[in-house]
Each structure stands twice: as structure tokens, then as C-alpha cells.
């Protein structure tokens, strides 16, 4: 779960990280009023995509009127597929230098990782490896100030600035821990002309699996409307741009199924993991989602381990009976209770495949062949 910049900043501020004064607004008029309190300001689109600046999602104004105009220009914009509905009006910072600092979970090392760079202000992926300082943390010790001091030295900071940087690292780690973060990032961490450090932009991504520990955290809905709807019924779902609707059991199988469709020249419309051991009801729900997408073909690929083939067959027949399925359905069905499942489908006029390859090929053919 990603948090909007303004939420991330609020959390950092509360944790004691220095930030500029800022206000969230929904209208140009509110932006003007905020600017009257704040002074010269940056107006920043609150969307969960990187590179807002380049895409025109950040503008500046020296007067309330300029800030209002900037807000008017940005509100309603489409930024990489997301409509801008909310802005953050933030006091403008004078910049002597831009640093980068983040704490994230390093999957390979299985430890938290502090990354820092004296070359902040661009996406960290664009920074050369030798310009990034990497420092793993021991989860049983955490980030005491000395870690920050070491990193500060490595990025070339000294004296009061090194101390301020070390302090920020400790506070970032507090946020990382307290909010079950996957990533907490300040980029840029601005060095002001007077030497103070200020977090100019912030990201905070929270581990979805830990959301139950953070009931107060405002839920930011990611993804398309359909994705949200399907996830709400507890299924893993990703919208794609093809025309073959796909259901499989298990994330790996679902990915492999998309790959197989692509292999034969088809274009999958979605990723949908119906679960490794789903019974009739959730499977039927998942199927209804597929039907609602108006695909050219529906492809169901089941390897019955814990999932029972007869359950899948029943779910399919149930959906067909209750609401009809106006497009061809290709079913591959093997494994537990395979015979019963295949028989049920055959009686309903559906011939199930035994192998995944030919089934995928057939689905692609029914969708109109190679795109």
C-alpha cells in the first residue's frame, strides 16, 4: 500500500523529520488560501506515480494568484493514467544540494537496507551505482545514531549536517518499523543554503500483509476500479490490455497461463489467481468477474492439487446457468477429482483439455489468432 506524499510527509513530520510547511487542497481556491499562509509554494499533484515533475505534475508560484493558477493547471490532469484530484501546497525550499536517503527491505539480504546518495533529486534507479551508499541493518539491533553517522560520512557530510542526517536516518527507521514499511524514502532531501536538511519529497509504502496492525492508516486504493472490486472479494487480480480473460489456481500457474497465451500469440486480458484450494463459491465469483469484462474468450486453467476439479466444473456451470456466458470458454482441467469434473462439463457440452499448451493454443485461436 502506497501512501500519498502528503500522508507520508505527515508521518515523517510526526516522527521528527524536518519538512516544509504544507497543506492538502482539493480546489484552486483552497490552494490560493494555503499560499496566503505559506508564501511562495510548490503545487504538487497527489498521485502515486514517480516522475511527477517531468510530467508536469509539479508547478511553482510566488504569489497566491500564481499558486492558484498552478493548481488550476494541474487539477484534473492525467498523470500516467491517474487523474489528479488533490494537491499538496508546500512552502518553496531554497536548494543548495539535493541528497537521497531511504530505508527499504532488501529481499536478498533479508535485512533492512539504508541507501543514500549525494546525488538526489532524480529517481534512484538513474543514479550510478558508485554514487549510492548501501548499508544493511541488523534487525535485532536496528538503526542507532551511529549508523546514520557512518552513512553521513560515506556521502560526504560533516559536522552539524552529518549529525542532522544521522538523526533523520534514525527517525526514518522508526517510521519503517512502526508502519511496517516496505520503503520509506526522502528524495530529494534538500540541503538549504543555511545548511539545514529538509525532506522535500517523501514516499512511504506499507506492507499490505501488515495492514491489520495499522487500522488508522488511510487506505489508498491502488489500481483500476475493476482491480479494486476484484481484490475486495479477496482475489489477486491485475488488469491487462488483451482480450482473453484468464483464471488459474495459484499465482505461479496464473502467470504461466498468461505466458502460454502470449507464447501462442494471444493477448491476456487479466491476471487472476483463484486460489490454490478454492471451493465452488469463490471460484464462481471469480468467473463472474471474467464474464463482466466482456472478453472474446475465457480460459480456465486448473491443475487440481488441493483445488478439486469437480468444484471448478460446478462453479462454471453455476455461473452459466445463473447469468449466462456469452463468449467461448476453454477449460483445462486435471488433477484431484478430474474424472468427475470432466464428466460434469462434458454433460454440459464443454470438452475439457488435459494439457495446458493445446488449451492455450485453442483459446488464442478462438480469440482471433495472433494479434
Partner 1 sequence: MAILVGSETRVVVQGITGNQGSFHTAQMLAYGTRVVAGTSPSRVGGREHGVPIFATVREAVEKEGANASVVFVPARFATDAALEAIDAGVGVLVLVPEHMPVQDTMAVLAFARRRGVTVVGPNTFGVLSTEGRCKMGIPPNHIYRPGPVGLVARSGTLSYEIAASLSAAGLGQTTAVGIGGDPVAGLTFVDVLERFEADPETRAVVMVGEIGGTAEEVAAEFIHRMTKPVVAYLAGRAAPPGKRMGHAGAIIERGRGTLESKRRALTEAGARVAEMPWEVAGLVREALGARAG
User: Which parts of this chain interact with partner 1 (CB under 8 A)?
Assistant: 105, 107-108, 110-112, 123-125, 138-141, 144-147, 149-150, 152-153, 158-159, 162-163, 177, 180, 182, 207-210, 212-213, 236, 238, 240, 248-256, 258-263, 268, 271, 273, 276-277, 303-307, 334-336, 355-357
Least separation, in Å, of the C-beta of 90 and partner 1? 25
CB of 316 to partner 1, least distance (A): 18
Our CB check for partner 1 shows the closer of 262 and 318 to be: 262
Interhelix angle 159-178/145-154, rounded to 10 degrees, is 130
Q: Which is nearer to partner 1, 59 or 303 (CB)?
A: 303
- Looking at the Cβ atoms of 88 and 237, the one nearer to partner 1 is 237
DSSP string computed for 292-320 = HT--SEEEEEEEESSS-HHHHHHHHHHHH
How far apart are CB 346 and partner 1 at their closest, in Å? 22
If one counts every other C-beta atom within 10 angstroms of the C-beta of residue 11, the result is 20
Residues 6 or more apart in contact with residue 123 via CB below 8 angstroms: 50, 51, 187
Within its chain, how far is the Cα of 21 from the centroid? 27
Q: What cell does 191 get?
A: 540541503
Grid cell at residue 267: 493477448
CB of 125 vs partner 1, minimal distance in Å: 5
Q: How far is the CB of 181 from partner 1 (least distance, A)?
A: 8
Helix axes of 356-366 and 251-263: crossing angle, nearest 10 degrees: 60
Catalytic residue among 185, 237, 338, 361: 185
- CA 102/CA 91 separation, integer angstroms: 23
If the CB atoms of residues 74 and 309 are measured against partner 1, the closer one turns out to be 309
Q: Which of 100, 173, 176, 264 is catalytic?
A: 100
CB nearer to partner 1: pick between 65 and 109 = 109
User: What is the C-alpha separation between 327 and 128, in angstroms, rounded?
Assistant: 50
- Would residue 185 show up in a list of annotated catalytic residues for this protein? yes
- Judged by beta carbon, residue 24 or residue 260, the one nearer partner 1 is 260
Identify each DSSP E strand in the chain by its residue range: 2-3, 22-25, 41-45, 58-61, 78-79, 82-83, 87-91, 97-106, 111-117, 132-136, 181-191, 197-199, 202-206, 236-239, 244-248, 270-273, 297-304, 329-335
Is 176 catalytic? The answer is no
Least CB distance from residue 100 to partner 1, whole Å?
13
Active centre residues (catalytic): 100, 185
Amino acid at each position: 500500500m502506497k501512501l500519498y506524499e502528503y500522508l507520508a510527509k505527515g508521518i515523517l513530520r510526526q516522527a521528527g523529520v524536518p519538512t516544509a510547511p504544507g497543506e492538502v487542497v482539493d480546489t484552486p481556491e483552497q490552494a490560493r488560501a494555503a499560499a496566503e499562509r505559506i508564501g511562495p509554494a510548490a503545487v504538487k499533484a497527489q498521485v502515486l506515480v514517480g516522475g511527477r515533475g517531468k510530467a508536469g505534475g509539479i508547478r511553482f508560484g510566488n504569489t497566491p494568484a500564481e499558486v492558484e493558477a498552478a493548481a488550476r493547471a494541474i487539477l484534473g490532469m492525467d498523470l500516467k493514467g491517474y487523474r489528479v484530484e488533490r494537491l499538496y501546497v508546500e512552502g518553496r525550499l531554497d536548494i543548495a544540494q539535493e541528497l537521497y536517503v531511504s530505508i527499504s527491505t532488501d529481499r536478498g539480504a533479508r535485512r533492512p537496507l539504508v541507501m543514500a546518495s549525494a546525488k538526489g533529486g532524480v529517481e534512484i534507479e538513474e543514479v550510478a551505482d558508485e554514487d549510492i551508499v548501501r548499508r544493511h541493518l541488523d534487525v535485532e539491533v536496528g538503526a542507532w545514531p551511529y549508523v546514520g553517522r557512518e552513512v553521513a560520512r560515506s556521502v560526504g557530510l560533516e559536522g552539524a549536517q552529518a549529525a542532522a542526517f544521522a538523526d533523520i536516518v534514525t527517525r526514518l527507521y522508526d517510521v519503517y518499523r512502526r508502519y511496517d514499511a516496505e520503503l520509506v524514502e526522502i528524495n530529494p532531501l534538500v540541503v538549504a543554503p543555511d545548511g539545514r536538511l529538509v525532506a522535500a519529497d517523501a514516499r512511504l509504502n506499507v506492507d499490505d500483509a501488515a495492514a491489520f496492525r495499522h487500522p488508522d492508516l488511510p487506505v489508498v486504493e491502488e489500481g483500476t476500479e475493476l482491480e479494486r472490486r476484484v481484490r475486495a472479494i479477496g482475489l489477486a487480480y491485475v488488469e491487462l490490455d488483451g482480450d482473453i480473460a484468464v483464471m488459474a489456481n495459484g499465482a505461479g500457474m496464473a502467470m504461466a497461463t498468461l505466458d502460454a497465451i502470449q507464447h501462442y500469440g494471444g493477448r491476456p486480458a487479466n491476471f487472476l489467481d483463484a486460489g490454490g484450494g478454492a471451493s465452488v463459491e469463490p471460484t464462481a465469483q471469480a468467473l463472474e468477474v471474467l464474464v463482466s469484462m466482456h472478453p472474446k474468450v475465457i480460459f480456465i486453467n486448473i491443475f487440481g492439487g488441493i483445488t478439486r476439479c469437480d468444484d471448478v466444473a460446478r462453479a462454471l456451470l453455476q455461473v452459466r446457468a445463473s447469468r449466462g456466458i456469452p463468449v467461448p470458454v476453454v477449460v483445462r482441467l486435471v488433477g484431484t477429482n478430474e474424472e468427475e469434473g470432466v464428466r460434469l462439463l462434458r454433460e454440459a457440452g464443454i470438452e475439457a483439455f488435459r494439457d495446458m499448451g493445446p488449451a492455450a493454443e485453442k483459446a488464442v485461436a478462438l480469440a482471433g489468432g495472433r494479434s
